[in-house]
Structure 1
């Protein structure tokens, strides 16, 4: 039998480059589809040298290119996207890449009859949650063009499921972090800012009481969830991918101070702060994917600090 081929958009990015080695271990062929605007070319070249990875350097905005490049693929992972920050600064590009790109990939996957499509959705589709932990059936209130496009992407998948039988899973990623992430990344800017200040002997500054929280999920665990979603019996569902634990900014600062062996104390700046908290209900991920996280935020952040010190 010939190997199954995974077509992975945005595969040269942070998460894609953690997923691809797991797919290679399972004997898939990999076809990366990436415009390389932010891709790691050196790492992609290393993967191509294995003989089981190829790169198609094109853009998801061009439907014909997506359709042609997907020929022969049995599975699709759709990661290509414009970030939250950039979507606010430039809504036009965000809608073009995130909305038109989504439709181009989904339509091609439906036309080619792929076995499964996995879509990188986002916890941001919930907006500010009314309760914790956040469940997939909770009300959605996406606030930015990026978040709106993720919700619309899930709806589009439902359309292609109903009309053409497309099998899909949409993973609502919470706050992913880990080695190889660009330091300006939306969710990790606070981590990197804290690390830089603590290393310089300066105290991290925190607005308010530091009660704002995120559900930090390590990229190694998250990559496993993608492979599980590609192969699961259950399909056609949005699925939260997080730890189920909300880590406050004050707690994060303490974890990083301890990991760096520093004796600085955080400085809390009194000001009104909209306290938003996030934690995923991961019951569905356990039941449908047979997946759960294995790396605690303390372990993951300590490893991240160790790696930063070694650079």
Structure 2
């Protein structure tokens, strides 16, 4: 196991949905310092309120955009490890592909280059299950073909290819994590660009019927954010020097099953509305995506903890605490 005792870690995107939980997980370890680098495009300082009470945790004081090469290099000086979660999200990439190129592709190159320049021992980088596109086999192993058709997935494929090149050319240790469908607190609950779980919860809270596109049979691998954060730390602590890994549960849940579970937890008997896909959505739709967890278990020692019902309840509890939900 890789010893991270007294290590100094830079968390890029550390004020975001997953990043804020990664910071929490790192502070459970005997590290010397955790520095958060974030431009707050999606992250919030409020998500780090408790973590910043720890004297080992701080914000990098002069900004935090991965497109700002000189500032990025300054932030990495003297650090041992980097965890990078900064990215434009899927639907943002769909509408703003050129910006997605600069953030997700050029920005990833900047991170890799800065890691080499600053002699970073290992980089943990966020990829995505979007690289796979629609499943040709279930569960999807890491050798599954790249059937992606959207800009977001294309940017993550490019990032993985660059990570491979940096590992080969410079010996940079990189572990890429292909997240399945992540949900939980700190995910943007109200923005136009958000996930299926917050959308359903918002509908029910507003006393409106949840809407399912298609017949609800499309199935995915839902994983709670705390498990994803723990996987980042497991990858950092592992002896593995390079590789790409699924981060999921290997549990297949249809959108109908997800909706039924949420309605049950909300004690609601609300009727579900089914509507046809738009032509645009139907073309881009991934019908099934469930990831094999075997390689991550065997090589980086990660196994998920939270079943879907438990994770959803934790999310609902957080929404109640923050005033987004009346219970």
* Secondary structure of 2:102 counterpart: helix
Per-residue CA deviations over 1:135-188 (Å, capped at 9, x if unaligned) read: 101111232222111111111111111111111110000110111211157895
Label 1:200 to 1:182 Cα distance change in 2 as closer, same or farther (>3 A): closer
Correspondence for 1:180 among 164, 181, 186: 186
Quick one: structure 1 residues 304 and 47, their matched pair in 2 at CA, closer, same or farther if it must change by over 3 Å? closer
Distance 1:259 1:81 in 2: 32
**Matching residue of 2:18:** 15
Are positions 1:283 and 2:287 aligned together? no
Residue equivalent to 2:133: 127
Per-residue Cα deviation, 1:114-137 (whole angstroms, up to 9, x for no partner)? 221100000000111212111101
More displaced stretch, 221-230 vs 295-304: 295-304
What is the aligned-residue RMSD (CA, Å)?
2.2
Mind listing any 5+ residue stretches in structure 2 that lack a counterpart? none
Listed as ranges, the matches of 1:1-311 within 5 Å are 3-28=6-31, 29-44=33-48, 46-56=50-60, 57-184=63-190, 189-269=195-275, 276-310=287-321, 311=323
The answer to whether the 8 Å contact 2:133/2:286 transfers is: no
Larger mean CA deviation between 209-218 and 49-58 belongs to 49-58
TM-score, normalising length: structure 2: 0.88
| Structure 1 CA distance for aligned equivalents of residues 47 and 264 of structure 2 | 32
Contact 2:183 2:222 in 1 (8 A): yes
4+ residue segments displaced more than 6 Å: none
* 8 Å contact kept, 2:5–2:30: no
User: What is the distance in 1 between the residues matched to 2:248 and 2:193?
Assistant: 13
241-250 vs 200-209, which deviates more?
200-209
Secondary structure of the corresponding residue to residue 180 of structure 1 = coil
